[in-house]
């Protein structure tokens, strides 16, 4: 990821219809080096059937767009796969697709029978220029534009009060009022996709009086500067590269983490400092953290990385599910989940305490842990790059 390129933060929340265990709305995300793709699908009705139909619709769209299939083929496949309601004469699942090109910030919204989207330009509601196309007998509403840093796109299902014509719970909260609510939320709190989405859904739940009358989902996409993180762990296999690796860490534009006692000492020697230890962070299974100027977090190596991997797998990418504790593994896991772009600078020098030096470097414990961490973080839609040294 380019240091100057924006990051497209995607957040969404759903409320199940009262009495239903499954949500009839589904959101599917895909992030590649070139684009961010978000699909919101709303299955007709609620419960298990709606959930399956919405999930199938979202999966088909993402799979085909990932392979750069033409929009006409995508719609033909969706409409050919899903039946049409004989009573209402509409598809069993509606959808809205947002495609954003990373290099240019250009976006395209494709809407089939879903409520109109919202565009905030620097916190203010801005009209979307739309056109209607008919493909395979279906009216598609298409909007295109460009997202600058600080701009926000919002998509919702018709379960959000005021979003659709069938919602009569609170007629005063229509599309314009939801847009005004977004403007107010953007002005009153830190401007984040998660904050805006949560604000809308809290008000949605309040308007329903706690008894949600229809599946309701809101998706937010915010263009913002990326949160970048470098993790330097393990000294290089070639000692002559020590200084170059430390310099790369210290010159990195973003947060900096050092994992490993020997690695920490390399950085400390370069800075003319000594790693100080915070004994209050020591736990039975996690060694204490340290402190160095110019470095945001200093931890022990192998044990902390292994515990961090476990925490990341258990929390399933949700930082709020991490233990409420201040130890090295929790702190590292939190830093990794808060970052958008993560760079592992991983030395391949073998520590004989943990690893037989006669074994290949590619099967070392550190190599294995870093590879597994990268794999998990990619699943959580992080941009991950690893350089072995």
Give mean pLDDT, residues 355-376.
Answer: 74
Q: How confident is the model at residue 245 (pLDDT cuts 50, 70, 90)?
A: very high
Query: Can you say whether the dihedral through the CA atoms of 264, 225, 35, 3 is positive or negative?
Result: negative
Bigger pLDDT: 305 vs 356? 305
Res 363: pLDDT: 43
Q: For 144-160, how does the pLDDT look when each residue is reduced to its tens digit (9 = 90+)?
A: 999 999 999 999 998 88
Question: What does the pLDDT average to over 36-60?
Answer: 89
Domains (ranges, CATH) in the chain?
A: 7-224 (3.60.40.10), 228-388 (3.40.228)
* 331, containing H or E segment: helix 328-338
* DSSP run (H or E) holding 111: strand 106-112
pLDDT of amino acid 119: 96
- The C-alpha angle with vertex 113 and arms to 112 and 116, in degrees rounded to 5, equals 90
- How far apart are the C-alpha atoms of 227 and 269, rounded to whole Å? 28
Amino acid 351: pLDDT? 61
Is the pLDDT higher at 41 or at 171?
41
Q: How many residues does the chain have?
A: 389
Distances (CA, A) of 240 to 27, 117, 245: 49, 55, 10
Q: What confidence score (pLDDT) does residue 91 get?
A: 54
- The yes-or-no verdict on residue 343 having pLDDT over 90 is yes
Does pLDDT of 44 surpass 50?
A: yes
Tokens found for residue 313: 């797998």
pLDDT for 192: 86
Q: What is the mean pLDDT of residues 90-104?
A: 85
Environment class of residue 330 by beta-carbon count within 10 Å: exposed (0-12), middle (13-18) or buried (19+)? Answer: buried
pLDDT-based confidence at residue 303 (cuts at 50, 70, 90): very high
Half-sphere exposure of 137 (CA within 13 A, CB side): 8
SS3 222: strand
Q: Determine whether 198 is exposed, middle or buried from the number of CB atoms within 10 Å of its CB (0-12, 13-18, 19+).
A: middle
- Cα distance between residue 347 and residue 186, in whole Å: 43
Among the listed residues 297, 367, 340, 348, the one whose alpha carbon sits nearest the alpha carbon of residue 192: 340
Instruction: Tell me: pLDDT of 360 over 50.
Output: no
CA count, 13 A, side-chain hemisphere, 260: 24
Q: What is the pLDDT of residue 169?
A: 41
Would you state the pLDDT for residue 175?
Answer: 86
For the chain, the helix, strand and coil percentages under 3-state DSSP, each to the nearest 5: 35, 30, 40
* pLDDT for residue 209: 85
Distance separating alpha carbons of residues 350 and 250, to the nearest angstrom: 23
Best CA proximity match to 123, nearest among 68, 71, 192:
192
pLDDT of residue 299: 96
pLDDT at 167 over 50: no
Q: So what's the pLDDT on residue 86?
A: 60
206-233: average pLDDT = 91
pLDDT tens per residue, range 180-193: 899 998 887 667 89
Write out the DSSP string of 172-220.
TS-HHHHHHHHHHHHHHS---HHHHHHHHHHHHHHHTTTS--S-EEEEE
Given a cut of 50, whether residue 109 has pLDDT beyond it is yes
Q: Does pLDDT of 170 surpass 50?
A: no
Rounded to an integer, the average pLDDT of 227-236 is 94
Mean pLDDT across the chain: 87
Residue 223 predicted with pLDDT over 60: yes
Rg (C-alpha) for the chain, rounded Å, is 24
pLDDT recorded at residue 2: 53
Query: Residues 229, 383: contact at Cβ < 8 Å?
Result: no
pLDDT above 90 (res 4): no
Residue 376 has what pLDDT?
A: 96
Q: What is the pLDDT of residue 350?
A: 64
């Amino acid at each position: 990821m380019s240091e100057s390129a924006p990051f497209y933060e995607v957040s969404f929340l759903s409320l199940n219809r009262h009495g239903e265990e499954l949500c009839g709305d589904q959101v599917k995300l895909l992030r590649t080096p070139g684009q961010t793709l978000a699909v919101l699908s709303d299955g007709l009705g609620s419960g298990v059937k709606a959930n399956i139909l919405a999930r199938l619709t979202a999966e088909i769209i993402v799979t085909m767009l990932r392979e750069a299939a033409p929009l006409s083929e995508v719609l033909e496949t969706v409409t050919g796969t899903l039946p049409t309601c004989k009573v209402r004469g509409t598809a069993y699942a509606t959808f809205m697709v947002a495609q954003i090109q990373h290099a240019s910030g250009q976006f395209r919204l494709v809407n089939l029978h879903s409520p109109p989207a919202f565009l905030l330009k620097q916190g203010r509601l801005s009209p979307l220029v739309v056109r209607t196309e008919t493909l395979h007998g279906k009216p598609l509403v298409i909007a295109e534009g460009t997202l600058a840093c600080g701009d926000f796109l919002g998509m919702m299902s018709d379960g959000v009060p005021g979003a659709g014509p069938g919602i009569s719970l609170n007629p005063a909260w229509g599309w314009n009022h939801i847009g005004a609510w977004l403007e107010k939320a953007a002005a009153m709190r830190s401007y984040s996709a998660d904050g805006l989405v949560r604000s809308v859904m809290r008000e949605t739940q309040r308007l329903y009086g706690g008894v949600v009358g229809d599946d309701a989902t809101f998706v937010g996409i915010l263009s913002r500067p990326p949160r970048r993180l470098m993790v330097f762990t393990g000294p290089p296999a070639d000692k002559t590269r020590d200084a170059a690796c430390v310099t790369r860490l210290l010159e990195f534009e973003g947060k900096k983490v050092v994992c490993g006692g020997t690695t920490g000492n390399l950085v400390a020697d370069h800075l003319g400092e000594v790693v100080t230890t915070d004994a209050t962070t020591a736990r039975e299974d996690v060694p204490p953290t340290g402190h160095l100027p110019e470095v945001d977090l200093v931890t022990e190596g192998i044990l902390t990385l292994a515990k961090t991997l476990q925490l990341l797998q258990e929390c399933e990418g949700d930082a709020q599910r991490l233990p409420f504790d201040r130890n090295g593994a929790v702190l590292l896991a939190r830093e990794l989940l808060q970052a958008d772009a993560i760079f592992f600078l991983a030395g391949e020098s073998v520590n004989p305490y943990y690893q037989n030096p006669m074994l290949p470097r590619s099967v070392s414990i550190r190599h294995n842990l870093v590879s597994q961490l990268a794999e998990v973080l990619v699943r959580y839609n992080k941009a991950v790059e690893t350089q072995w040294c």
